[in-house]
Amino acid sequence: MGLRKIVFGIMLGLFCLFANVGFSQDQKLADSLTKLYTSGAHDISEFDLLKKISEAETNNEKKIAFAELLIKKAYKDSLFDYLHSGFLQKGNALLLIGNNVQALQSFLKSLEFAQRIKDDKGIGAVMISIADTYSIMGNSDNAELYYTKGIGMLKKTKDSIPLASALLNAGDEYFNTKKYDKALVYFEESGLIFKKLNYAIGNAYNLGNVGMVYAEQGKDTLAEKNISEAIAILEELEDYYPISVYLTYMADIYAKKGDYTNAFRYAQRSLNLATKHNLKNQISDGNLKLSQLYEQLGNHKEAYKYYKDHIVYRDSVKNIEAVERMANLRTDFEVSQKQTEVDLLEKDSEIIQLKQRRQRSIMYISIAVLILIVILAYGLLKRYNFIKATKQIIEDEKSRSDTLLLNILPEETAEELKQNGKVQAKKFESVTVLFTDFKEFTRHSESLTPEELVESVDYYFSKFDDIMESYGLEKIKTVGDAYMCAGGLPFATKDHAYKMILAAFDIIDFVNASKSMDINHKSRFEIRIGINTGPVVAGVVGTKKFAYDIWGDTVNVASRMESNSEAGKVNISQNTYELVKDLFDCEYRGKIDVKNRGMMKMYFVNKKQIAISKELHTMKADAS
């Protein structure tokens, strides 16, 4: 039927496989726990509370925000078990909103930490999530490999719910590849476990999956019974993604019966639900189902309208490279195929009418020819408008892809990626790296809602981006409340250290000025800044969705400069000092003991700037 694979594997993350088996998505519980967390009046640890909130939350944006907050706090204390849980829940949310490559990256990080703490149950759970992601991306070989590994690992733990969930996911993969008998075997095994435990959400997914198999086999009565029971349970649990999918199957069942009133009702309900909760895959599938129903009733205008929306939403969840290379060919071909079917239906009708007219009388021949000419002219005009609209859609998608790529990568790197399909890593001998961090960010974040926290950080980071752009510096990434940028790449320059320090003071001025401003729902922070200069290697991470990053000891030392700085101060290393000592008034701090680095010389850069020398003018001229 062309529907995308349903991500029931996310159940593994929602079931909280790592400490409290049986803990699943529950919005009422999530709201209660969030209120408890923001109040500060709780006896359990902050890490456990954030872990439970991220597991119970059904709003994907909030789920990501709480998971990232847990990851940030766990990183500071090297708590691998909480890092494992945080990355798993973040991956679950990303998968549900269609960010498949980012979800896979989160799952692989979760697997790394689960293996560090030798958590067999966690390892098995993440392997199933990875298998689900590969299945959604159409990589059946990798999906089956990770399903086999994950189920084998979970059977060792003898933990019923995770094992049942994994069996359900594997069965869904066989359903996706149309091996229905094998899918039913897995569903039967998982269903017995869920029924024995009286596990509501497990029973719902199992009923729904079995119903979909029956629907594909033409057993509509059994399909409708199972799917209806599944939807009733999921509505109580407020689990909307599978409900949206099941509703499209219900639309199919009623369409086969000729009951198009109910078929349209279920299809429209599926699309409305997916749109409300931003479920991109199901928005695409909902539009496709409505297009098919309208086509069956001969309403080609409405069929084309919904089919066009299906193409746009489907391509919006593809990765940048796929959109860039395939949008022109695939979209034009599939939409034109659809229009060809419409034209053939119209021409068949015209031929029948023409034969009837010829049988009645030869005198109607001239009239029939005239009508045919009018219809053909209308068809040509209609096709011209169709091609024009389709080209505009493709151009808009291409423009959006180019803009998105330039937001992720430097322009030179983006061009290299589009031309060669990959980016060659490059070494730069002299690059200045800057790190910032908000003082007492954790304390501030505990008093804010997730929305207010994200809004506050975005307020500062947006201004930092403008400052970097004004000096021709390159933003690398943000991690939690940390901001990282670099100068001297992707094009080598001589004045990168000088410009980076100017940018650092602009950041401090902005942060200080913000303290006196009346900014609704935004917290005020103090900031620490650290800078180091040296060689780095720069390149692109990933093969689907890309990230430009830098590596090397220079980056690590810059991070240490920031962590050993003070609020409102710019702390620089010996390497950077040697480049700017004639340009700025620098205060020697002495040698400071740095974690894992030993004693290192550090300097505070004062606001006062020494008169720019002739040498600096030469440097700036060379850089331009």
DSSP assignment string, 517-571? S--TT-----EEEEEEEEEEEEEEE-SSS-EEEEESHHHHHHHHHHHT--TT-EE
- Residue 417 contacts residue 423 (beta carbons within 8 Å): yes
Residue 398 has what pLDDT?
63
C-alpha 502 chain-centroid distance: 35
Count CA atoms within 13 Å of residue 76 on its CB side.
15
- Residue 569 contacts residue 558 (beta carbons within 8 Å): no
DSSP assignment string, 585-606? EEEEEEEEEETTTEEEEEEEEE
State how far the Cα of 377 lies from the Cα of 326, in Å rounded to an integer. Answer: 32
State how far the Cα of 149 lies from the Cα of 406, in Å rounded to an integer. Answer: 39
Residue type, 569: K
State how far the Cα of 226 lies from the Cα of 522, in Å rounded to an integer. Answer: 49
Neighbours of 609 (CB within 10 A): 15
State how far the Cα of 145 lies from the Cα of 381, in Å rounded to an integer. Answer: 52
State how far the Cα of 151 lies from the Cα of 164, in Å rounded to an integer. Answer: 9
Residue 405 has what pLDDT?
53
- Residue 187 contacts residue 206 (beta carbons within 8 Å): yes
Mention every residue, 6+ apart, whose C-beta is less than 8 A from residue 407. none
State how far the Cα of 390 lies from the Cα of 412, in Å rounded to an integer. Answer: 30
Rounded alpha-carbon distances, angstroms, from residue 471 to 163, 484, 495, 496, 531: 55, 15, 10, 9, 16
Residue 23 has what pLDDT?
38
Residue 544 has what pLDDT?
62
Length of the chain as a residue count: 624
Collect the ranges in the chain with pLDDT lower than 70: 1-25, 315-355, 361, 394, 396-423, 518-523, 542-546, 608-624
Residue 574 has what pLDDT?
96
State how far the Cα of 491 lies from the Cα of 101, in Å rounded to an integer. Answer: 29
Mention every residue, 6+ apart, whose C-beta is less than 8 A from residue 103. 91, 92, 94, 95, 133
State how far the Cα of 78 lies from the Cα of 12, in Å rounded to an integer. Answer: 24
C-alpha 194 chain-centroid distance: 30
Residue 242 has what pLDDT?
86
Residue 14 has what pLDDT?
38
Residue 349 has what pLDDT?
57
Residue 130 has what pLDDT?
93
CA angle 613, 617, 623 (to 5 degrees): 140
Fold classified for 422-623:
Alpha-Beta Plaits (3.30.70)
Count CA atoms within 13 Å of residue 12 on its CB side.
36
Residue with tokens 């009018």: 374
Do you find a cis peptide bond into 450, omega within 30 degrees of 0? no
Mention every residue, 6+ apart, whose C-beta is less than 8 A from residue 1. 216, 249, 252
Q: Tell which residue, 208, 131, 195, has the closest CA to residue 160.
A: 195
List the beta bridge partners of residue 534.
431
State how far the Cα of 169 lies from the Cα of 147, in Å rounded to an integer. Answer: 8
Q: Which helix (H) or strand (E) holds 498?
A: helix 496-514
Tokens found for residue 553: 């000891």
State how far the Cα of 119 lies from the Cα of 84, in Å rounded to an integer. Answer: 10
Measured in degrees and rounded to the nearest 5, phi and psi for residue 410 equal -60, 155
Instruction: Identify the three-state secondary structure at position 237.
Output: helix
